[in-house]
Amino acid sequence: MQAKFVLELPSDPRAIERAVEYLLDRSREVGFACDRRRLNFQVGVTEALANAMLYGNGRDPRKRVRVEACITRESVTVCVTDEGRGFDPSAIPDPTLPANVVRPGGRGIFLIRKLMDRVEFNEKGNSITMVLHGEAPRREEEQHA
């Protein structure tokens, strides 16, 4: 089974929680095995939406954020696109380096890259595609441990 969804959100951070819960509910309906990966999904999508609204669209209430999701039993693919000018993701400093620990910026992208299985940006830098695979089937000896 496969489900595709498109959401158009205002650039209002109050819309983030409802959108993430909606996507989680749809993933459960499709049978995506996300129990152990639920936090990865929640944090990754929340960060992408917040970045799109706050930085991409500059908190401009006239601009929208588009969310496209494709959910199967095996994986969830979420694409978040804002109406901003975009950015160069390779220019984001590594927030784990000592020189950057106290500098703001870059932590959300860092988290997304660590939590999702695949992350890609479009050329303009105003759209991020994230893929999260479901749980691998547990081996029998792990189930009895």
Tokens of 94: 């590594």
Interval 76-86: pLDDT, tens: 999 999 999 99
User: pTM surpassing 0.85?
Assistant: yes
Q: pLDDT tens digits for 23-49?
A: 999 988 888 866 667 889 999 999 999
CATH for 2-143 is 3.30.565.10
The stretch 127-139 carries a mean pLDDT of 79
CA distances from 72 to 48, 90, 97, 145 (A): 21, 30, 37, 29
Q: For residues 129 and 120, is the Cβ–Cβ distance under 8 A? A: yes
